[in-house]
Amino acid sequence: MYRTFHIPKEAGTYADTLEAYGVAHLLIKIFESQAMSNEVTINDKGVYFEIILKKEITTEIIEQLKYFQVVKFIQKDDKNKAPEHIGQDFYNYPVQRDLRRAKRKEIEKALKDFKGKDFTKQRKLINEKYQSEMVEQPLVDEYDVFAQLISNPYAAFLKLHSNFDSNQEHFKILISEALNQYLPKDNQISTEYKALSKAKKINIDEKATMLQLLNPNQGKGLNKAKATGMSVGNLKGNWIKETLKVSGALNFGMVCQAVKVGSSYDMKVFVPVFSEMKLHEKMQIMKEFKRTAKSNTPIKLDIVNTLKIIELFLNKSEKKERRRVKDFLLGLHSVYQKDLGQNKAVVNIAFLQTPDFIDLADKEDWLEIIDDQKRLMNGITEQGDAMIGLLAYRKFLNGSDINEYFKFNYWYATYLMHELSNKKQTYVTTNKIETLNKIFTLMDISFKKIIENEGFQSVAAAIRKSTVSLQYTPKSERKFDVQYGLAQKLQNKSNSKDDLVAFVGEFVAKYNSDTARQYEKTKQALRANVKDKELLAFFELADKVDSKVLGAMLAAYGFALNKKDKTETTAE
C-alpha cells in the first residue's frame, strides 16, 4: 500500500540528504521490528529524493508496530545515562572516548618499539584488538558523529529522542505521522496524531532546534523567522525531519574528520550523495570509508576523499555496463567548520562532484589510476604554492576540467624537481607513464594520437632524461647536468605554436649535442638521441594540435617514469 516516498530538497545542503537517509533507515527498522527484511533503493530526482521499497508497508504492519529507538540514545556522561528499558542498545560516549585514547597510546608505544613491517603488523593487531570483545566495548564506527552531537547542543538531541521514547504507547501513531510527511496527501496513513496533540495526550516538543552539524546553513546567530527584530539563537524546525536527519547521520550517512591547519585542527564534514543505490550497498561503502578515513590538510582531504569514495564504489560495484560512476555516486557534500574553542563555525559549504569521465566498464583501469593518484597526493605537502597545484587538481577532479589537469601537471613538474633537489628524504613521487596513458585515453580518445606519436614520445623521453631520471641518479654517477627550470620554460613557450616549436628545437639540439659529447669521452651510448625523423614527426604534430595542450602533455610525460624505471626513496 505504501511503497514510494518523496523527500523534498528544501535546504539545498546535505541536510536534505541526511533526511532521506533517515527515512530509508526508518523504513528498514519498521520491517526489522516485524522480523521481516526488505530492500530500499534511494534515487536522486533533482528537486527531491525518491525512496522505493521492494515490499510495501501495509496498514497491518503499522498496526502491529512495537516501540523501537528511531535514533539510538547517546550517553554523554554519568549525569545523562541511557534509559534502563533500552538495555545496552546505546552509544556510550565516555567508554568509546577512553577506548580511543588507550588505543592511541598503544600505537604510539608500538611506534617507538617497532619499525617498518614489524610496526605495521603490530598496529594491525592493536586495531583488531579494539574491534573485538577483548575490550569493554568494541570501537564503533559512528563515534565521529555522536562525539559531535553531544555538544551541538546535546539538549536538543535529548528532546528529539524523548519525543518517541516518552510516548511509547502512541508509537505507531507517531510513526504513521512521520511517514505521512513523505507520502502524497491522497495516500496518507490514517492517524490520530492531531487529535491526541490537541487533547494533550502526547507530550511532543514539535519545534526542534536545527543543529548546525546537521543543518550547516542554519547555525546559531542573529536569526528571526520574520523581520520584526533580531535575537541570538538557533532556528527551529519540524521535529520529525530533525529526528530523521540525526538518524541519517548516525547510520553511516556522515563522516566528520579532523583537518590539520598549522598546529591546530578544524573539522570537515562529508556526506555522500548516491542515486539508484540500494541502502545496504551504501552502508557497506560508508562503513569502509569511515574505517579508512584519516586526518589531512583541507584541500588534500577533498581530493583524497573523492578518490577514496569512488574507489570503494568501484570495488563494491558488480555493474559492467557502459555507464558513468556519476550516475550512481553523484559526489560528496563538504562543509568546513572552524574551531573557535568552545564552538565551531561553518566557513565553507561545497559540493565535490564525481568526475564525468569515470566509466564502470573501465573499472579495473580506474582502480589502478586511483591507487596511483592517492600515492601521488600523499607526497605533496599542502603549504606555500602547493595549494595552487592542489586547487587545480581538485577543480580537475570535481569539475571534470582537463585544462585544470594540465595546470596541475605544469605545477607538479616544478614541485617534483624542487623537492628532489632540496630534500635528502622526500616522499614525493613521479607520475607513471602507464597511468598517464590510461587517464588521457579514458578521458578522451583523441589524446591517443599525441601519446602514440613517435616524435612526442622521443621529445618527452629527452626531457625525462634531462630532469627526473638524473635526479634519481646519485651525483657521483651523473654524466649530464640536470636541466632545472625546464617545466616553467615549457609552460611559457606553449602559449603559441611558433614559440613551442622553437623551444623544442633548441632543447633537442642541445640535448643531442650533450649526448654526442659524452659519447666521444666515454665511447658509450649513455642515452639515445632524438632522431631527425622523430623531431619532424613532433613538428607535424604541433601543426595539428593546440600548443597549450601539447605543451601540457609534454610537461606531464616529460616528468614521469615508467614502472620499470628504477626510482629511489631519496634524492641527492
Give 250-307 pLDDT, tens digit per residue: 999 999 999 988 778 899 999 999 999 999 999 999 999 998 888 899 999 999 999 9
- Looking at the structure of the chain, the number of domains it has is 4
| Torsion sign, CA atoms 354, 356, 357, 359 | positive
Query: CA 93, CA 72: separation in Å to the nearest integer?
Result: 12
**Residue 504, all three cell numbers:** 623544442
The per-residue pLDDT of the chain, averaged, comes to 91
DSSP 271-315: EEEESSEEHHHHHHHHHHHHHH---B-HHHHHHHHHHHHHHHHHH
Is the pLDDT at 222 greater than 50, yes or no?
A: no
- Same domain assignment for residues 365 and 431: no
The answer to whether residue 395 sits within a structural domain is no
Give the number of residues written for the chain. 572
Quick check: is 225 in a domain?
Answer: no
- Is residue 226 a part of any domain in this protein? no
Phi-psi sector, 307: left (phi>0), alpha (psi -120 to 50), beta:
alpha
Q: What residues are paired with 265 via a beta bridge?
A: 260
Residue that finishes a domain, picked among 333, 365, 390: 390
Residues 138, 30, single domain; the answer is no
DSSP, collapsed to helix, strand or coil, labels residue 222 as strand
* pLDDT 10s digits, 123-174: 999 988 888 877 778 899 999 999 999 988 899 999 999 999 999 999 999 9
* Domain end among 104, 122, 144: 144
Q: Is residue 564 part of a domain?
A: yes
User: Are 374 and 342 a contacting pair, CB within 8 Å?
Assistant: no
Instruction: Specify whether the CB–CB gap between 367 and 307 falls below 8 A.
Output: no
The pLDDT score that the predictor gives to residue 221 is 52
User: pTM, whole model, 2 decimals?
Assistant: 0.91
* Local confidence band at 350 (pLDDT 50, 70, 90 cut-offs): very high
Q: Is the pLDDT of residue 564 over 80?
A: no
Domain ranges, residue 98: 92-144
Digit-coded pLDDT (tens) for 352-379: 999 999 999 999 999 999 999 999 999 9
What the block records as the C-alpha cell of 340 is 573557535
In the predicted model, what is the mean pLDDT of residues 455-482? 91
Looking at the domain assignment, is residue 84 inside a domain?
no
Q: Are 247 and 262 members of one domain?
A: no
Given a contact cutoff of 8 angstroms between Cβ atoms, the answer to whether 408 and 393 are in contact is yes
Q: Flag whether pLDDT at 383 surpasses 60.
A: yes
Q: Please give the pLDDT value at position 201.
A: 87
For residues 3 and 488, give the distance between their C-alpha atoms in angstroms, rounded to a whole number: 60
The answer to whether 405 and 396 have CB atoms below 8 angstroms apart is yes
Structure confidence at residue 289 (pLDDT)? 96
DSSP string, 382-422: -STTHHHHHHHHHHHHHH--HHHHHHHHHHHHHHHHHHHHH
Q: Are residues 40 and 188 in the same domain?
A: yes
Q: What is the pLDDT of residue 107?
A: 93
- Picking from 390, 421, 452, the residue at the C-terminal end of a domain is 390
- In a shared domain, residues 435 and 559: yes
Q: Could you tell me if residue 224 is inside a domain?
A: no
Q: Are residues 447 and 563 in the same domain?
A: yes
- Does residue 158 share a domain with residue 102? no
122 and 25 both lie in a single domain: no
Asked whether residue 71 is assigned to any structural domain, the reply reads yes
Task: Examine the domain organization and report whether 123 and 178 are in the same domain.
Answer: no
Domain membership of residue 85 (yes or no) is no
Show the beta-strand stretches assigned E in 120-279.
207-209, 221-223, 231-233, 236-238, 255-261, 264-274, 277-278
**DSSP assigned state of 173:** H
Same domain, 332 and 195: no
Q: What is the pLDDT of residues 46-95, one digit of tens each?
A: 999 999 999 999 999 999 999 999 999 999 998 999 999 999 999 999 99
Q: Is residue 3 a contact partner of residue 52, using CB atoms and an 8 Å limit?
A: yes
Mark whether 307 and 380 lie in a shared domain. yes
Same domain for 306 and 163: no
By the 8 A CB rule, do 26 and 247 touch?
yes
